[in-house]
Chains A and B, each alone.
Chain A
């Protein structure tokens, strides 16, 4: 279970989050939607301790991680896997080395076991046979799949996705959505997906949070949110710009 209480964060003089509250139960597939630059990725990074809040608390399985130092956080992060917007693969390593990295660092697996698990993880993300390629040789969608393989190889309990379909064509986006659902069901993980792709949000989430005006403005099951009559929710879901904001 992940719980966020009255989270506040600002960069310089710019407030990004101002009193965010949310609760994600174990096994849930939560989707955080909101406008670009609205603080979704910042919120996601707080869940895994990559950013420290100015105020408020983040609890993982009831444990407050807010005031932990970097070394204490390493133990908490073993429960998490994260897929980054740009995949964040280590570009000096091959696909195989990238995916094997978490297991090699743990220093308790044999080379044969690591090889077997890398092959399995690449199979789950439909990328068998790419072991020897470098990240630069892969397309955007393939890089995100490798990022996902790296995140699931040590079987974390929580998987965080930062804009998994941004910058991908609709067909590749659809395959990534299917992959998120497959991984969720196969590994029984708690998923948190940050996106502004409404189709993706509707498909992968069983709980949706709308981040608006630096707070969680609305939350609920996808059908509740997507049928909401609230003006702010509707404006975001229907993708309608304010007349004032329209760029002519």
Chain B
């Protein structure tokens, strides 16, 4: 056991504990409304507006390929008009939130870790502390808040694009009847699917911001340390999103069944 504690297991558990402490500090700071609105608006711009191209391409092409693949299978059993219903449910509750989060983790998580990591190695974080500013208040809270606001909005955009592009592919490329295609999509895609997707994207926004901030604030010295922190922020937040997705799916579907 002692051996395990000294290897990556101990390191991993220590990291989890530190992220938990940082999350607690961030939530406590949020409750006291210490956030600087100018920083929050900039972060929403950086995470939301600057991620547009990534989200547009991800949403549109995921919807298109899912429509085509579903159609090829459903066509065998003459269920062509159910194609967009599958795309709708998948985009709302799974693919929309998860793929958007993974793409944003790659772009935003890396940028957060690199920026904060560079601040750490150039003593800017120590300078913040000497200026009586808590690094969590100034660096983590605006990013956490912005990511949890921006990611659900980006996810809605991705879902709309996925379903829209799927409709275009289904109707104009694959020749499916547009009325039944749209009717079935509305019939089988419920509000609850969208709500599940939004809850997930809110959680993923938190994961991306917290892992990025933690990796930046704990990065090693020098350019190598910043490089490693950046890579780890993307890898760990992506893994955390995929693992969390499984458990969130089970829990949220269970809650949905109880509510319906």
Question: Which residues from chain A sit less than 8 Å from chain B, CB to CB?
Answer: 45, 48, 50, 70-71, 73-75, 77-78, 80-82, 84-86, 88-91, 101-102, 105, 150-151
Instruction: State whether A74 touches B130 (Cβ < 8 A).
Output: no
What distance in Å separates the Cβ of B71 from its nearest Cβ neighbour in chain A? Answer: 49
Q: Mark B120-139 against chain A: 1 for CB-CB distance below 8 A, else 0.
A: 00111011011111100010
Q: Is the CB of A105 within 8 A of B132?
A: yes
- Contacting residues, chain B, for A71 (C-beta < 8 A): 134
* B residues apposed to A, CB below 8 Å: 119, 122-124, 126-127, 129-134, 138
Contact A75 B122 (CB under 8 A): no
Are A50 and B124 CB-contacts (below 8 A) given A70-B134, A74-B134?
A: no
Residue pair B129, A77 in contact (C-beta under 8 Å): yes
Given contacts A84-B123, A86-B122, A88-B122, are A105 and B131 in contact (CB under 8 A)?
yes
Pick the contact of A77: B119, B122, B123, B132 (CB < 8 A): B132
Are B131 and A101 neighbours in the complex by a CB distance under 8 Å?
yes
Q: Which residues of A lie under 8 Å from residue B131 when comparing CB positions?
A: 77, 101-102, 105, 150
**Docked-complex contact A80 and B134, CB < 8 angstroms:** no
Set of chain A residues within 8 Å of B129, measured between Cβ atoms? 50, 70, 73-74, 77
Query: Which of B124, B130, B133, B138 has a CB less than 8 Å from the CB of A81?
Result: B130
A-B contact count (CB 8 A): 51
Chain A residues positioned under 8 Å from B119 (CB to CB)? 90
What are 29 A-B pairs at a CB distance below 8 A? A45-B126, A48-B130, A50-B129, A70-B129, A70-B134, A71-B134, A74-B129, A74-B134, A77-B130, A77-B132, A78-B132, A82-B127, A84-B123, A84-B126, A84-B127, A85-B123, A86-B122, A86-B123, A88-B122, A88-B124, A88-B126, A89-B124, A91-B124, A101-B131, A101-B133, A102-B131, A105-B131, A150-B131, A151-B130
* Cα–Cα distance between A48 and B127 once the two chains are bound (Å): 11
| Chain A hits for B123, CB < 8 A | 84-86, 88
Question: Roughly how many angstroms separate A86 CA and B119 CA in the complex, as a whole number?
Answer: 12
In the bound complex, what is the Cα–Cα distance between A101 and B132 (angstroms)? Answer: 11
The answer for the CA separation of A75 and B130 in the assembled complex, in Å, is 10
Q: Apart from A50-B126, A71-B134, A77-B132, what 18 extra A-B contacts exist at CB < 8 Å? A: A48-B130, A50-B130, A73-B129, A74-B132, A74-B134, A78-B132, A82-B130, A85-B123, A88-B124, A88-B126, A88-B127, A90-B127, A91-B122, A101-B131, A101-B133, A102-B131, A105-B131, A151-B130
